[in-house]
Chains A and B, each alone.
Chain A
Amino acid sequence: MDQHLICDTGTLLSLQIVAQNFPFLNLKRFRFVISPQVEIELKQFSQHQDLLGKCAQEILQLQGNIIIKPVEGIEELKTILGVSGRQRITEADLSMYLLAKKERRPLFTDDFSVLIHLSAFFPEENIFHGVALIAHLLSLRLTAAEIHHYIFKQFIPQRWSKITEQRLVDIETIINEALPW
């Protein structure tokens, strides 16, 4: 597996939460390539003293494992996608898509709107949900039943205090598809 990962803010926070519970994930073996916009989001999160704030602080402390690369073309992409003024897809999201394209690597996002919208516009690009990556990494040591139990009993309540039933079902679909039967 490629050790350079292009992950949005949400996926980085999710990975850090899982790594706290399962040290074998060892995030230091990865290089996370992020845009300056995502760095700003992480710094904003790190101002808070809750779990996500602490996770952001720990990610920022990975330093040598975080590579920040600027991107161009966000305004043009906004026009192509027709997302000007829409709050659901942010400049940080678009910057990460452009970064993934530039680096020729997949984009991992925790945002369903981003995943569905960008996948529809750019079907040839690899845009994956962060939960698929987490399920895969956990499957190296845990059984499918253990992964399901952890994700739904522990991870989701920590990561998303408010989550719709539709997104719960979507996460289950991703896990079922990602794990071998």
Chain B
Amino acid sequence: MKQKIQMSLEEESTKQLDKILQEHNLNRSQFVDILIKNSVFVIEHIKENPSYYLVEKMLTDFYRLGLIDYYGLVKVLGPQRSFEIQQLVRSTRKFKKWINT
């Protein structure tokens, strides 16, 4: 369920953000939703290495949404982990296509 929430944000920051999001056909709600979901998930479920997984989750979602490319993942996460993430995302996208056929 979606809920409308009013927020006060820095005008200059949101202008810059909107420009980036528009280039990728995304909206503010999706972006903020990701920030909230990832933060809550990591705080709630990741006990041993939360700072690493917060970064990894953010990068994974940026990659899923097209905000960064595969090489953007590799630079931070390394080739092996990036490859795993790429395969998981690709496989699940194929699943969605299959389910709709």
Interface residues of A (CB under 8 A from B): 1, 106, 112, 115-116, 119-120, 123, 126-129, 132-133, 136, 143, 145, 152, 165, 168-170, 172-174, 176-178, 181
Contact = CB atoms under 8 A, between A and B. Distances in A.
Given A143-B1, A173-B60, A176-B64, A119 B90 contact: yes
B95 A106 contact: yes
A178 B61 CA distance: 13
Nearest to A119: B87
B45 interface: yes
Interface residues of B, number: 32
Contacts of A176: 37, 61, 64
Best-surrounded residue of B1, B61, B93, B95 (most CB of chain A within 10 A): B95
B84 interface: yes
Contacts of A173: 57, 60, 64, 85, 88-89, 92
Interface in B48-81: 48-49, 53, 56-57, 60-61, 64
A40 B61 CA distance: 39
B60 to A, nearest CB: 6
B50 to A, nearest CB: 9
A115 B92 contact: no
B57 A170 contact: no
Nearest to A117: B87
- The dominant DSSP class at the B interface is helix
5 contacts: A112-B88, A115-B88, A128-B98, A145-B1, A165-B53
Nearest to A174: B92
Contact of B49 (A127, A136, A152, A165): A165
B55 to A, nearest CB: 11
Interface in B17-51: 30, 33, 37, 41, 44-49
Given A116-B84, A145-B1, A106 B92 contact: no
Nearest to B29: A181
A81 B30 CA distance: 40
A79 B3 CA distance: 54
B41 A172 contact: yes
Contacts of A145: 1
A177 B97 CA distance: 12
A126 to B, nearest CB: 6
B87 A169 contact: no
B87 A128 contact: no
A133 B93 CA distance: 12
Given A119-B87, A169-B57, A177 B93 contact: yes
Contact of B99 (A136, A174, A177): A136
Contacts of A120: 83, 87
